[in-house]
Chains A and B, each alone.
Chain A
Amino acid sequence: MADDIRAMTAQLAADPASLVFLELGEALRQRGQLDAAYKVARTGLARYPDLARAHDLCARILCDRREPDRAFEEWVTALELDPGLAAAHKGLGFLYYQAGDLASAERHLELAASGDPADSGVRAALERVRSRQPMAEAGAVPAPEAGSIGPAEAAGVPAAEGGPAPPADAAPELDGREPGGIERSVVAELEQGTGALLLVDANGLRLGGRLRAPDGADVSDPVAALLAGASREAARTARLLALGEWTHLAVECPDAHLVLAATKEGGVLLALRGPDAPMGRLARFAERAAVVAARWLEAAG
């Protein structure tokens, strides 16, 4: 392999516009030379910003570098350029799986499988996701186990030396660029109660979703009761300090990030993620999720 890398490097040096950067970047990634791989990928992407495979390559490298948010963005961009790109669907399937959103994981892996029916890695990943679904429906989303599928493994490609680490805190639904992604993900959380989204009315009663403490205990009802008071307090603070209508409350804790978003009629939606979730994006997600939740509630009657 080292010879291949040398040859490809020479080829790229001789012709910087060559698409060999795709193979070179992947080879470096598999050897664990992530900084070099990333440099090659970014240079190639600068030349070919509309090349879906280049975005896919970047995403894989970012995943290996434990930057799941940026990896997610790259795969979404790849799908915007090439909606049928199986590798991007595999990657997103992995990230959703890591985030505990099994419904979205399954959907993307199915799309990957339909794009490449011969890929045994995708079929295996799909079976694994489907086998976990009954547990998620019961409200207990299990933590990804050691040796969980990685995007490289899902793609049937040997993992890089040392193996790709699962993203520390994947929260792919924070990005709304995937068509319908947020809507589906929010409705799934409200209906299935995966433990990280809670919709509460003005009286402190739960309308949808569920919240779990780190030990797995269901704390939805006591938190719902307190959220109503927090929401009123937020509204009053904004009003009396002449700041207008409040839109959201971001709360940064050492072990979690939470955002409360105002909903219609004095209700509130709480979104909870790990401490690595970018707060700005979580806030945007929560505000958009509040809109989705209002529509969901209206449709539910």
Chain B
Amino acid sequence: MSDPREVLDRLSSVRGLRGSALVSAADGLVVADSLMTGVDGRALAALAASLAIRLRRTVEAAGRRPPAFLQLQAAGGAVLAAPCGPDLVLVAIATTEANVGLARLEMLEAARRLG
């Protein structure tokens, strides 16, 4: 299993990501984070984990397998999430200039190593 810090440091090099965190999926509590100043890590962790839980329930009700990647797109940026097994979620917050495609690839790879 990879070191969470390494994973977060690697993610922080992706253009446009303001921060990332490894979060306990059930509680929405931060396990590790790497955040720019001004990013509320606790809020990011709690809200993103809660969103991931809801979407998982929705997808399962539709008879599909649990999500591997989520992107909440808003006018001012995006929240990205990649579940790492049943217990952890890797989350990130991105600006509108972020390279979401690269972030997605990095997060999926990280989720594979952490899960």
Contacts and interface: CB of A to CB of B under 8 A. Distances in A.
Interface in A224-243: 226-227, 229-230, 233-234, 236-238, 240-243
A233 B61 CA distance: 17
Interface stretch (A103-111, A131-139, A152-160, A208-216): A208-216
A253 B61 CA distance: 13
Contacts of B43: 240-241
B68 A246 contact: no
A243 B61 CA distance: 29
B70 interface: yes
A254 interface: yes
Contacts of B57: 226
A255 B48 contact: no
Nearest to A198: B62
Nearest to B101: A280
Interface string B50-94: 110011011101111111111111111111000000000000010
A222 B51 CA distance: 18
B79 A243 contact: yes
A245 B73 CA distance: 9
B68 A243 contact: no
A248 B48 CA distance: 15
Interface string A253-282: 111101000000000000010000000000
Interface in A144-193: none
Interface string B28-40: 0000000000001
A219 B68 contact: no
Given A243-B74, A243-B79, A250-B71, A237 B51 contact: yes
A132 to B, nearest CB: 23
Contacts of B67: 251-253
Contact of A249 (B70, B77, B93): B70
A135 B61 CA distance: 25
B65 A248 contact: no
Given A237-B79, A240-B47, A241-B47, A226 B70 contact: no
B74 A215 contact: no
Contacts of B11: none
A18 interface: no
A246 B57 CA distance: 20
